[in-house]
Amino acid sequence: MRLRFIPSALLAAAAAVSAAAAPARAQGNVSTQGFGYPPGQISAAAAALGGGPAETDGQSALNPASIAAWIRPGVYFEYAPEFRSVTANGQTDHTTTSRFPLVAGAITIGSRLTAGVSVSTLLDRTWETTRSGFDHFASDSVQFTENFKVSGAIDDVKPGFSVAVLRSLWIGMAADVYSGDNNLTIKRTSQDTTVQTFSQTSRLSYSGIGASGGIMWQPGSFLAIGVSGRLGGRLTAFRNDTVLTRATAPKRAGAGVTFTGLPGVVLAFRTDWEGWSSMNGLGQPGLAVTNTWDYGGGAEFRGPVALGEPVALRIGYRRRGLPFLVDSSKVTETSYSAGFGFLLSQGRSRLDFTLVRASRSGLPGVTEHAWTAEFGVMVRP
């Protein structure tokens, strides 16, 4: 996660630079098109089950009602480096991107109310490309090497609460405050001494709001159902103090079910729709954004005991669309996941480790695969 807690007022404080807009659409890989890659806003444990239990998982940042699943006060932190390989034109790039996609915490207030806050990455725009070409001058051509680097993200800061309206029904509400920035650098160098190195930096900032709501219902001791949605408010892109574009933050709706009726086994499935196309106006004209569906599910098994507690073994499968198109082609991500988790400190803490193997397709001739190692640490004092 590229967490940025910079208020838009501060972001707007620097001097304006008049500039002619130019697009920066593609970035040398399939997944971080447009405003970036959506890590998903789900915890490492939920990711191991293909995102299946995300609607009922307290640490995931989707359903405010699931804040109640914290049960006790605690904090959660996640680290998720991605090892990506992109193959095109007979060549393969191997990259490593460090992400901190989710931080969350909650406290209980009385027996019915739980308040929580999460900071999660909505879209991670971190990539770098290096390529060579020729500059054609008036009388000759000179070879150049161009490095284009972007780092940053749009984050979703979500304070919310969950209240138990019945013994088995929780309702949650949360605000979505979008914040973040992208730092971009272009550097063009040449071996020709008559050509000077060109370097330019740019910083985009984002600000926006939204609101989420959801319910979590436990109709029986073996079943939990979560349904949630998000409404998008205004989302604005700035350069220094200049408003560049405005759009609507993406809506979403999702539902999931978690079944614990089998001894030592948890089954979870989820589907989610996200209305990314409302962000269309945030980019340059021609930026292709599409709404996406996300399906996933998995199972958790009670494994052998270690350190006095059983180890949870998890597997999952997930298939989803990514919001930004490549050359008018939709990008689909299919991932298989496996992981484990175990409790520490008499159940007050939990460590989760998930390994996700994702394949992303969309542009013919270009294949992208990634291993993502997700580390989740929850501590409840």
Partner 1 sequence: MLVSRKPGRALLLLGALVAVAAAMSACQENLAGGAACPSLCPDTLTVKDVVLSGADAFDTMVNVVGVPPLGTEQRLLIANYVQGGSPVQTAAVLRFDSLIRILPDTDTLAAPKPIMRVDSAGLRITVIAPTDTTRDTILVPDTVTFLVYDVDVNAPDLDTASVHAQFNNSPIASRVVPRDSVKGAITIPLDTAWVGEHVRDGKRIRLGVRIQSPRSAQLNIGSADGGVPATLEYFGFSDTSKAFVTRNVNTHTPGAPQLTSLADYDLVLQGTPPPDPGILAAGGIPGSRVFLRFGVASALIDSSATIVRANLILHQLANVQFGTADTADTVLLQVGVVQASPRVTNIAAAALLVDPPGSLGITGVPTVNFRPDVARPDTIPLVGVFSLWRRLGPLVAQRAIVLESTGEGIEPRRYLFYSSSAPADSLKPRIEISYIPRSGFGLP
User: What is d(CA 134, CA 101) in angstroms, rounded to the nearest whole number?
Assistant: 39
Smallest gap from residue 154 Cβ to partner 1 (A):
12
Nearer to partner 1, 88 or 169 (CB): 88
Shortest reach from residue 68's CB to partner 1, in Å: 28
The residue to which tokens 């989740």 are assigned: 376
Residue 91 vs 111, nearer CB to partner 1: 91
Which residue has 């998995």 as its token pair? 298
Nearest distance from residue 54's CB to partner 1, in Å?
21
Structural tokens at position 232: 């998008």
Residue among 16 and 165 whose Cβ is closer to partner 1? 16
Which is nearest to 107 in space by CA: 77, 78, 70?
Answer: 70
Instruction: Using the minimum distance from each CB to partner 1, give the nearer residue, 216 or 356.
Output: 356
- What is d(CA 316, CA 40) in angstroms, rounded to the nearest whole number? 15
Q: What is the token pair recorded at 109?
A: 């207030």
In eight-state DSSP terms, residue 65 is G
For strand 366-379 and strand 74-79, is the pairing parallel, antiparallel, or unpaired? antiparallel
The number of angstroms, rounded, from the C-alpha of 55 to the middle of its chain's C-alpha atoms is 15
Which of 48, 255 has the CB closer to partner 1? 48
Asked whether the beta carbons of 35 and 261 are under 8 A apart, the reply is no
Q: Which is nearer to partner 1, 37 or 70 (CB)?
A: 37
Residue 301 CB, shortest distance to partner 1, in Å, is 9
Query: The tokens of 153 are what?
Result: 């993200």
The minimum distance between CB 148 and partner 1, in angstroms, equals 5
Minimum CB separation of residue 166 from partner 1 in Å reads: 33
Within 10 A of 350 (CB to CB), how many other CB atoms are there? 22
